[in-house]
Amino acid sequence: MKKNGLKAWLYLLPSLIFLGFFMVYPLVDVLIYSLEEGYNSASQTFTGVGLYNYAYVLRDPYFMQAVKNTFILVMITVPVSTGLALLISLGLSSIGKLRELYQTIYFLPYVTNTLAVGLVFMILFKKTPYTDGMVNLLIGLFGGRSVDFIEGPYWAKMFVLSFYTVWIVLPFKILILTSALASVKKDYYSAARIDGASGFKIFTRITVPMISPMIFYLIITGFIGAFKAYSDSVALFGTNLNAAGMNTIVGYIYDMLYGDSGGYPSYASAAALILFAIVFTITVINLLISRKKVNA
Amino acid sequence: MNVRLEGLTKHFPSRNKKSKEVVVAVDDFSFEIPDGKLVGLLGPSGCGKSTMLNMISGLEKPTSGRVFFGDDDVTDVPPELRGVGLVFQNYALYPHMTALQNILFPLENLKGAKKLSKDEMLKRANEAARLVQITELMERKPSALSGGQQQRVAIARALVKMPKILLLDEPLSNLDARLRLQTREELRRIQRETGITTVFVTHDQEEAMSISDMIVVMKKGVLNQIGRPQDVYDDPVNLFVAKFLGNPPINVFEGSVRGGKLFIGDEDVMDAEGVSDAPVSVGIRPEGFVPKEGGRFTCDLVGVEVMGRDTSVICNHPAFDGANIRAIVSAENRIDTEKETVSFDLKPNKVFLFDKETGRRIRPGEENR
Ligand SMILES: Nc1ncnc2c1ncn2[C@@H]1O[C@H](COP(=O)(O)OP(=O)(O)OP(=O)(O)O)[C@@H](O)[C@H]1O
Ligand SMILES: [Mg+2]
């Protein structure tokens, strides 16, 4: 028994060393940074220890804006992308001919670079001296007033950002859900039809419960991914996100470290730990719910 | 409710996409299942039994032919509206629901005038559970049930909506011999109690014979014979049916009819008046042999197995088409195992003659071919 335990630790050692170096050490380091008040990166000195950095970050309007943006993004994109992916995968699994072709088409955005997709979104939404962008042309066709989606009102920018994010994450979710749907045995559907269930009832009572582990997996990873969003915002609104009012928490952290007004690792660390706390809490809640609901 | 099938046919496209050939799973099937009877649908693997059931339940659309429930043509009615109960070969219980939820599911889908209140549903589900004796297991999920228990849940789920027609697709195939015997008797009892018209698919002839009011023997999608089990056993229409029913199986010999006598080898073993001269296949049921000193049919003795009530005489004959002839004789007959040969007289009603090429039964007085 004891010998076995020793062996197990020996086998685990390489990965433990890696984890220690690249996860535990940075985490501890960030924690220390976040507690050092008045840290100066040039002289590597600080004036005291305390929670001042947290207080500063939480009072910083840019940070609060970033938190608000991130939460809105999470609350919109996670349910919308998961729901849409479910609908599309249902559609995909019910067509017979050309299914592979459609699956490939739906998967294309996943293998496309985010910045390239950003460019396409620019063409769709950006106003330039020459054109109002394709979407505005369409709005014009239906008699609406044109909207500046990139530099205009907050809701318009949020709309584009959410749209973009959903578009980026959709293919992966479709891929996961189509394979989850394919793994549900046909017999259950036959049995449900014999039991007199309507199509909708079969969906809610048979299909969804059967693939619920995968749905929850997507929701949890979706939450984590959306909380860590940054590059999507950059792709659409450029690097000066605070000015655009479209910063995210990770964006704020980056700016605090390397941005034009950067050089504050203590503030960045405090913000990072706040993000960590948020993601951790949400994930734990998710897991608790899924433990209750999901049928493994 | 009686079930009538008229010229039911099902073709499947060939698995090999290039060839245009089709698989004929069921071929021009017509028969009627009388109200409240239990019919055993019997045939070797791949002969189209499941396909038949699926067409009755509506899960498969027939290529041609009609299905009637009572006077209603239901050929184009989807399965969710046919209201039949079906127990799948592999049970297909919903794994994420408890036994109770599984049984409740068909009731939750009832609509209109048939809609039930929560209490009524629970009452009905518990009644069905009592019928198959699973009342203690209602809170368990299928993964926590044994094969036999799962099967009973599946039966309860099929019965709970009180269908007019119950279809069972080899429901006992996953059970051990004891449980098999026990459950098939239970099934029979439930069917009698409820009077539901039932089709029971199996490839086990003993199972079909023991519980059916009527058996239907099919081969490669074609109906061969239909009738009461004993009648089919005593009077098979062809060699296939004769071989398929009976355990131990019928013994088949090469023989010929000459001048109103049946010959096996050089011996004239039986009178066959009214049968014209021709080479024939001779089927003799194991119980058709009567050991007798100086009997008309002589075989090489291989061994004797005493089974208490009966004795199994194992012997051999050059004209026999299998490995060993098995004759079941009453234990009162003493067989001298020292001897090289054993002689029998044959019971005429246990000996069947079949056309050598087509396998069709030849009856005295009938013009064969
Ligand atoms: N979906 C299908 N596509 C093509 N061929 C099929 C299909 N379903 C069944 N078949 C063919 O139809 C024939 C009858 O199949 P069926 O499942 O009805 O047999 P069965 O009598 O139930 O056999 P078993 O006793 O093994 O269950 C078989 O030759 C089978 O290969
Ligand atoms: Mg079958």
Q: Does B78 touch chain A if contact means CB atoms closer than 8 Å? A: yes
- pLDDT on residue B32: 92
What number of C-beta contacts closer than 8 Å exist between A and B? 58
A205 contact residues in B (CB cutoff 8 A): 105
Q: Convert the pLDDT of each residue in B139-151 to its tens digit.
A: 999 999 988 889 8
pLDDT at res. A33: 86
The two structure tokens encoding residue B12:
């499947």
Check if B90 contacts A (Cβ < 8 Å): yes
Pair A57, A253: CB distance under 8 Å: no
Q: Is B84 on the interface with A (CB under 8 A)?
A: yes
- Which residue's structure tokens are 């109906």? B223
For residues A129 and A120, give the distance between their C-alpha atoms in angstroms, rounded to a whole number: 18
Give me the residue from A187, A196, A295 closest to B88, CB to CB: A187
How far from A9 is each of A5, A20, A22, A25, CA to CA, in Å? 6, 14, 19, 20
Helix (H, G, I), strand (E, B) or coil at A63: helix
* Nearest Cα residue to atom 12 of ligand 1: B25
Q: Which residues of B touch A208 (CB under 8 A)?
A: none
- Provide the pLDDT confidence category of residue B368 given band limits of 50, 70 and 90: very low
Contact partners, residue B214, CB within 8 Å, separation at least 6 = B33, B34, B37, B38, B39, B40, B226, B227, B228, B229
Q: Which atom of ligand 1 is nearest to the CA of B218?
A: 21
Given an 8 Å threshold on Cβ–Cβ distance, is B96 in contact with A198?
Answer: no
A207 vs B contacts (CB less than 8 Å): none
Angle subtended by helix axes A208-227 and A265-293, to nearest 10: 170
Reference B246, options B38, B42, B37; nearest CA is B42
Q: The tokens 């249902």 sit on which residue?
A: A90
**Which CATH number does the domain A61-293 belong to among 1.10.3720.10, 3.90.1170.40, 3.40.50.720, 3.40.190.80?**
1.10.3720.10
Contact B92 A195 (CB under 8 A): no
Which ligand lies nearest the alpha carbon of B47? Answer: 1
Residues 6+ apart with CB under 8 A from A244: A151, A157, A237, A238
Alpha carbon nearest to ligand 1 atom 2, residue: B12
In angstroms, what separates the C-alpha of A279 from chain B's closest C-alpha? 30
The confidence score (pLDDT) of residue A250 equals: 92
CA distance B244 to B225: 11
CB–CB of B364/B272 below 8 Å?
yes
Q: Which residues between 91 and 110 in chain B have a beta carbon less than 8 angstroms from any beta carbon of chain A?
A: 92-96, 105-106, 108-110
Quote the tokens at residue B296.
């008309």
ipTM of the complex as predicted: 0.81
What confidence category does residue B102 fall into, taking pLDDT thresholds of 50, 70 and 90?
very high
Cα B1 to Cα B15: distance, rounded to the nearest angstrom: 37
pLDDT in tens, B249-299: 999 999 999 988 999 988 888 888 888 888 999 999 999 999 988 888 999
Determine the average pLDDT of the residues in B335-349.
88
Q: pLDDT averaged over chain A?
A: 86
Q: Which ligand is nearest to the CA of B168?
A: 2
| Closest residue CA from atom 3 of ligand 1 | B12
Q: What is the b/e burial string over A3-34, where b = at least 16 CB atoms within 10 angstroms of the residue's CB?
A: eeeeeeeeeeeeeeeeeeeeeeeeeeebeebb
User: Which residues, in sequence order, are bridge partners of residue B310?
Assistant: B330
Judged by its nearest atom, the ligand closest to the C-alpha of residue B45 is: 1
Please compute the mean of the pLDDT values over residues B91-100 and round it to a whole number.
94
Q: What is the pLDDT of residue B334?
A: 79
Are the beta carbons of A198 and B109 separated by less than 8 Å? yes
DSSP labels, A118-187: HHHHHHHH---SS---HHHHHHHHTTPPP--TTTS-HHHHHHHHHHHHHHHHHHHHHHHHHHHHHTS-HH
What digits encode the pLDDT tens for the residues B23-54? 889 999 998 999 999 999 999 998 999 999 99
DSSP per position, B120-146:
HHHHHHHHHHHHTT-GGGTTS-GGGS-
Domain ranges within chain B, ordered by starting residue: 3-240, 248-362
Among B58, B80, B157, beta carbon nearest to A197: B80
CATH 1.10.3720.10 intervals, chain A: 61-293
Q: Tell me, yes or no, if A185 comes closer than 8 A to chain B by beta carbon.
A: yes
Q: Two tokens at A90? A: 């249902």
The candidate with the shortest Cα–Cα distance to A125, out of A84, A88, A167, is A167
What atom of ligand 1 comes closest to residue B89's alpha carbon?
27
Average pLDDT per block of 10 residues along chain A, 296 residues long: 79 91 89 83 75 90 93 94 93 81 80 80 80 80 79 88 90 91 92 92 92 91 91 84 87 87 84 93 88 65
- Of all residues in chain B, what percent carry a pLDDT higher than 70? 98
Amino acid (1-letter code) at residue B139: E
**Is the CA virtual torsion B207, A187, B78, B158 positive or negative?**
positive
With CB atoms and an 8 Å threshold, state whether A190 touches B106: no
Pairing of strands B197-202, B165-169: parallel
On the CB side of A238, CA atoms within 13 Å amount to 8
Interstrand relation of B278-284 and B267-271 (parallel, antiparallel or unpaired): unpaired
What 3-state DSSP class applies to B299?
Answer: strand
- Tell me B237's DSSP state: S
Which atom of ligand 1 is found nearest the CA of B53? 18
Interface contact A194-B80, CB threshold 8 A: yes
Please report how many Cα atoms fall inside a 13 Å half-sphere around the Cα of residue B149, on the Cβ side. Answer: 16
Q: Torsions phi, psi of B136, nearest 5?
A: -80, -10
Q: How far apart are CA B93 and CA A190, in angstroms?
A: 11
Give B149-208 pLDDT, tens digit per residue: 898 899 899 999 889 899 999 888 777 788 788 888 888 888 988 899 999 998 888 888
B13 at A interface, C-beta within 8 A: no
Residues with CB under 6 A from ligand 1: B 12, 23, 25, 43, 45-51, 203
In CATH, what number does B3-240 get?
Answer: 3.40.50.300
Q: Which residue of B has its CA nearest to A193?
A: B80
Q: Is A208's Cβ below 8 Å from some Cβ in B?
A: no
